[in-house]
């Protein structure tokens, strides 16, 4: 994804209380931060945050954490949250490769991956958020009945992801190659990328994986 440097984004994020600065300190203690034992759902690579913010508004009994490594996009999600001040939504400006440092075994109930970067070169496959290396990380933080939900319009990345689910020893509970025209379309919340690519006519693929 092409990123524009947003002046002052890093500083604004450093000062914002909705961004947790040292997430390792909350490992095993996220319920204390939220002040309740509600399930925690995370979105990895949430970009400008429309998806997770809408979910947090619609589901006050679920806690949400958005993880995004770039300040220049996270700042857009923060602009929304500064207005809404949802008590069930926080953000991390971190690389998801470190995710097992932030969350305890079983601390997370669901992981959303939306329009993740494809990393098209084979030698970068391990960086894809649906690689078996990432599934091994998700395995360490997800509750036994937890699930990973993934959407993309990139058919090559989707096919790779279907293979990786199997290689990681996980099972698919939902697979569609055209979400918007499927039985699963109802209630679907579109991400920024999803709006853009579905407007071009690209079919949206979705999978849900469990262990
Ligand atoms: N999910 C959003 C959507 O669907 O509109 C954004 C999609 S954008 C293609 C992918 C986002 O994931 C980027 O903002 C990128 O910075 C973020 N990202 C990619 N790899 C990441 C990682 N390892 N840790 C955290 N964020 C990551």
List all residues whose CB is within 6 A of at least one atom of ligand 1.
1, 44-47, 67-70, 73, 95-97, 114-117, 191-194
Residue 159 domain boundaries: 9-210
Spacing, Cα 37 to ligand 1 middle (Å): 28
Spacing, Cα 46 to ligand 1 middle (Å): 5
Report whether pLDDT(188) > 90.
yes
Residue 164 lies in a domain: yes
Which pLDDT does position 10 carry in this prediction? 87
Ligand 1 mutation pick, 116, 128, 158, 193, max ligand atoms within 8 A of CB: 116
Which pLDDT does position 5 carry in this prediction? 75
Residue 2 lies in a domain: no
The model's pLDDT over 35-69, given as tens digits with 9 standing for 90+, comes to 999 999 999 999 999 999 999 999 999 999 999 99
Residue 171 lies in a domain: yes
Report how many domains make up the chain. Answer: 1
Mean pLDDT of 163-181: 98
List, by residue number, the catalytic residues: 117
Residue 112 lies in a domain: yes
Ligand 1 mutation pick, 44, 45, 53, 75, max ligand atoms within 8 A of CB: 45
Instruction: Answer whether 0.95 is exceeded by the pTM.
Output: yes
- CATH number, domain with residue 74: 3.40.50.150
Band of residue 172 on the pLDDT scale cut at 50, 70, 90: very high
Which pLDDT does position 39 carry in this prediction? 98
The model's pLDDT over 7-28, given as tens digits with 9 standing for 90+, comes to 788 888 999 999 999 999 999 9
HEC string of the chain? Answer: CCCCCCCCHHHHHHHCCCECCCHHHHCCCHHHHHCCCCCEEEEECCCCCHHHHHHHHHCCCCEEEEECCCHHHHHHHHHHHHHHCCCCEEEECCCHHHHHHHCCCCCEEEEEEECCCCCCCHHHHHHCCCCHHHHHHHHHHEEEEEEEEEEECCHHHHHHHHHHHHHCCCEEEEEECCHHHCCCCCCCCCCHHHHHHHHCCCCCEEEEEEC
Residue ID of nearest Cα to ligand 1 atom 6: 47
Which pLDDT does position 7 carry in this prediction? 79
Residue 1 lies in a domain: no
Residue 93 lies in a domain: yes
Residue ID of nearest Cα to ligand 1 atom 7: 115
Residue 72 lies in a domain: yes
Closest to 147 measured CA to CA, from 22, 71, 23, 39: 39
Q: Which atom of ligand 1 is nearest to the CA of 97?
A: 23
Residue ID of nearest Cα to ligand 1 atom 12: 45
Report whether pLDDT(4) > 80.
no
Q: What's the mean pLDDT when you consider all of the chain?
A: 96
Residue ID of nearest Cα to ligand 1 atom 21: 45
Spacing, Cα 173 to ligand 1 middle (Å): 24
Residue 48 lies in a domain: yes
């Amino acid at each position: 994804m092409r990123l524009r440097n947003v002046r002052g984004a890093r500083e604004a994020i450093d000062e914002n209380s909705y961004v947790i600065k040292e997430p390792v300190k909350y490992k095993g203690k996220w319920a204390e931060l939220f002040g309740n034992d509600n399930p925690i759902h995370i979105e990895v690579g949430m970009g400008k945050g429309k998806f997770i913010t809408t979910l947090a508004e619609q589901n006050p009994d679920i806690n949400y954490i958005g993880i995004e490594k770039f300040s220049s996009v996270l700042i857009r999600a923060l602009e929304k949250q500064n207005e809404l001040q949802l008590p069930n939504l926080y953000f991390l400006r971190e690389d998801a490769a470190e995710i097992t440092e932030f969350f305890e075994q079983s601390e997370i109930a669901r992981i959303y991956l939306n329009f993740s970067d494809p990393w098209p070169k084979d030698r970068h496959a391990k960086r894809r958020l649906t690689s078996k290396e990432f599934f091994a990380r998700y395995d360490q933080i997800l509750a036994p009945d937890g699930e990973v939900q993934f959407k993309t319009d990139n058919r090559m990345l989707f096919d790779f992801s279907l293979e990786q689910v199997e290689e990681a020893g996980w099972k698919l509970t939902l697979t569609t190659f055209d979400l918007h025209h499927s039985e699963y379309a109802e209630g679907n919340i579109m991400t920024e990328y999803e709006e853009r690519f579905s407007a071009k006519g690209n079919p949206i693929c979705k999978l849900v994986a469990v262990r």
